[in-house]
Amino acid sequence: MQFPIFKTKIKGITKKFNLNNPEERRKYFELKAGKEIKKLRDYLKKGNTFIVYLLGKKNSGKGTYSKMFAEMVDAEKIEHFSIGDMIRVIDKELQDGKKRKELFSFLEKNYRGARSIKQIEELLNKRSTSAPLLPTELILILLKREIGKRKKKTIFIDGFPRDLDQLNFTLFFRDLIGYRDDQDVFVLLDVPEAVIDERIKHRRVCPACQTSRNLKLLPTSKVGYDEKKKEFSLMCDNPKCSGPKMAPKEGDDKGIKPIKARLMKDEELIKQAASLYGIPKVFLRNSVPKSLAGEYVDDYELTPEYCYQWDGKKVLIKEKNWVIPDDEGRPSYSLLAPPVVVSLFKQLVEILNL
């Protein structure tokens, strides 16, 4: 698949923004997509909503893009909804007698499918991260249950569809949950596997507050150095946290190798979604070929790579443009999240005819 390259560079404007700073980022969005943001805000103020299906490979930034979108448009009227989070909540409900009873009471009244409630209960009890996906009809009714707990909002659904057999259900999902007049949209994400690989290999997580950063691509403001091990480390700088040393997750050093099959499956799902008729698509591209970057984007919109040196007393941090091969092998730059979200604003405004 060839995803289009979206141009965020505005001729004649040389102002630069620090996109990691929330206030600077807000000014950036107002400059690059202020008109579109206002149209989307007005659309939601009138009581309108829409449904977005986020389709991208694992670690492609689905949650980051949707939350940044909500941050700028209207966080009260937009909700990022993760199927993975929903299943984790249900796992906890199964451990609580009262909530477990409420869950199966709901399923007895609403579930329809090839399995009995007893079989569903056994399936949920045995579920693990390595187990096969839950049956589609069960995911649908659990999703409807969760959405029913909330006021009608614009929803960014992350993790559904997850398999090819679930794809056709999305064409009728708005009817199933009662959003009959809502526009629904596929948002398809294109992120080079080289980017996903580095995001995983250099990820660091705070053991106290679970804040996630990246030693190579998104450091904290506090970087430590172990002279014996000759290793640099990130210290959590969340103001609500005690600031311990951040650590990699088990298996992160292997990068994408353990999830290679999953990435191939995700890619096939994106291709299938792009070929469907009757539902509009937004195409979001995370990278731009190095040879075209100067024409399409500003330099501060590119993902920097951070390098470290120890001068004997303190850590020196140096920054340079990060060059990676895209999935076709071309030298490319990865984009920071904000320019990708600018593309999302503009494409959605066109789809909604605003």
Task: Kindly write down the DSSP assignment for every residue of 277-334, as one continuous string.
Answer: SSS-EEEEE-EEETTTHHHHS-GGGBPEEEEEEE-SSSEEEEEEE-EEE-TTS-EEEE
Q: Is the pLDDT assigned to residue 90 strictly greater than 50?
A: yes
pLDDT band at 80 (very low <50, low <70, confident <90, very high): confident
Place of tokens 């596929």: 186
Where is the domain boundary, 152, 171, 187? 152
Q: In which domain, by residue range, is 342 found? A: 22-77+153-351
Say if residue 345 is exposed, middle or buried (CB neighbours under 10 Å; 0-12, 13-18, 19+): buried
Where is the domain boundary, 130, 152, 174? 152
Q: Are 143 and 199 in a shared domain?
A: no
Kind plus residue range of the DSSP H or E element containing 225: strand 222-226
* CA distances, 187 to each of 37, 52, 58, 73 (Å): 17, 7, 14, 17
Three-state DSSP class for 188? strand
Whether residue 200 is contained in a domain is answered as yes
Whether residue 8 is contained in a domain is answered as no
Q: Are 204 and 225 in a shared domain?
A: yes
* CA distances, 224 to each of 194, 214, 251, 264, 311 (Å): 27, 14, 22, 37, 12
Q: Are 56 and 111 in a shared domain?
A: no
Where is the domain boundary, 152, 186, 212? 152
- For residues 45 and 259, give the distance between their C-alpha atoms in angstroms, rounded to a whole number: 41
Q: Is the pLDDT assigned to residue 176 strictly greater than 80?
A: no
Total domains in the fold of the chain: 2
Whether residue 228 is contained in a domain is answered as yes
Pick from 72-81, 119-128, 243-252: least confident = 119-128
Q: Are 142 and 251 in a shared domain?
A: no
Per-residue pLDDT, averaged over 325-336, amounts to 95
Q: What is the CATH number of the domain that holds 201?
A: 3.40.50
Q: Are 44 and 163 in a shared domain?
A: yes
With beta carbons less than 8 A apart as the criterion, state whether 221 and 193 touch: no
pLDDT band at 130 (very low <50, low <70, confident <90, very high): very low
Q: Are 206 and 286 in a shared domain?
A: yes
Whether residue 6 is contained in a domain is answered as no
pLDDT of residue 179: 60
